[in-house]
Each structure stands twice: as C-alpha cells, then as structure tokens.
C-alpha cells in the first residue's frame, strides 16, 4: 500500500511528495519512489496529520515546502536533512508538541513562522551557517532556549537572537 501521492518533477530531477495519506504514527519517508529519488516535500503535504508522532526525512530531500508539517499537533520529533539549506515559512507551524528538532549545519535561512507556536521546543542550537532568520521564526515558542555562537536566548530575548544573526537591532 502506498501512503504517498507524488509526481515526478523533471526540473528537480526526482519525486515530489504532494500528500501523505497514511496513518502511521512514526513516518519514515522513503528516499526512492518508483526508482527515482525523493527530492522535495511539497507545500502542506503532511498538513494536519495529527496522528504523526515522528518523521524521518531522507538526505535525498533538498526542499521542504511551506507549511509541509503544519498543524501536526502530536508531532514530537522530526529531522531536517543536511541537504536542506532553507527552512521555509510555516514548515512546523503549530506543531505544539515538537520537542526534538535539529537544525543542521548548512541551513542558511530560517523563514517566517517556521517554528511558530512550537511550545515543545525547549533547547535548540542554531548553527553558524544561518545567515538570515525571520523575526517571527520562533514566534510563540514560549519555552525556547536557543543557543547561537555560545550565547543563550530565551523567549523573552529571542529578538536579540534575530539581531545577532541578521546583524540588526530589534
């Protein structure tokens, strides 16, 4: 049984997952579908999959669309592959139980509301490769304790983190 709707994208040279239709709590996204590499998870492909607790994304994926995992209320852990350089807007929006997430070295941009309302995030390290971060990337993450270049930023001081990365004062 196939738990994915997908299409081949010639420009990207691989498969784009457009929708998850399965019921698994622990999802392991395949690296290959129909003999072709999975290169992208489309916008909102897993949106509102409230039964998902964990997701493992293969290194073949280079792009994760906006809102891809938004409103996955029971999602506790997910990975971002080293092959991804931009964490798009709303990617984990309102994943209130998300607690285990690692931003890999190589990510250069974290977009608007990427982790908005992810109350479960307590400790997260922002790699030095991040050169651009939206001022609302961690909006509503009231329990956050972010580490960047050895400095610790709690939610009360999160705008100082944005300033440290973007070279601006907020």
Q: What is the pLDDT of residues 81-127, one digit of tens each?
A: 999 999 999 999 999 999 999 999 999 999 999 999 999 999 999 99
In which band, very low, low, confident or very high, does the pLDDT at 2 lie, cut at 50, 70 and 90? Answer: confident
Q: Which of 87, 113, 117, 90 is nearest to 102 (CA)?
A: 87
The percentage of residues in the chain with a pLDDT greater than 90, rounded to a whole number, is: 95
Query: Residue 46: how many CB atoms within 10 A of its CB?
Result: 25
> Is the torsion defined by CA of 138, 142, 147, 148 positive or negative?
positive
This prediction has a pTM of 0.94
Give the Cβ contact number of residue 72 at 10 Å. 27
Which structural domains are found in the chain, ordered by start? 4-166 (3.80.10.10)
Averaged over 42-55, what is the pLDDT? 98
CB 164 within 8 A of CB 170: no
The pLDDT value recorded for residue 1 is 46
Q: Comparing C-alpha atoms, which of 55, 62, 146 is closest to residue 98?
A: 55
- How crowded is residue 80: how many other Cβ atoms within 10 Å of its Cβ? 18
Q: Among 119, 116, 114, 58, which residue's Cα sits nearest to residue 83?
A: 58
């Amino acid at each position: 049984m196939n738990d994915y709707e997908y299409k081949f994208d010639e420009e990207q040279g691989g498969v784009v997952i457009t929708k998850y239709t399965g019921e698994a709590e622990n999802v392991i996204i395949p690296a290959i579908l129909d003999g072709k590499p999975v290169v992208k998870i489309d916008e909102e492909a897993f949106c509102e999959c409230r039964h998902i607790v964990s997701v493992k994304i293969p290194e073949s994926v280079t792009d994760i669309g906006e809102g891809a995992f938004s409103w996955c209320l029971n999602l506790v852990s997910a990975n971002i592959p080293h092959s991804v350089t931009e964490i798009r807007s709303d990617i984990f929006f309102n994943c209130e139980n998300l607690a285990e997430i690692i931003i890999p070295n190589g990510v250069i941009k974290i977009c608007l509301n990427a982790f908005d309302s992810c109350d479960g995030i307590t400790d997260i390290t922002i790699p030095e490769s991040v050169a651009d971060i939206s001022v609302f990337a961690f909006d509503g993450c009231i329990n956050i304790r972010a580490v960047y270049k050895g400095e610790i930023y709690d939610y009360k001081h999160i705008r100082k983190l944005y300033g440290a990365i973007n070279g601006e004062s907020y």
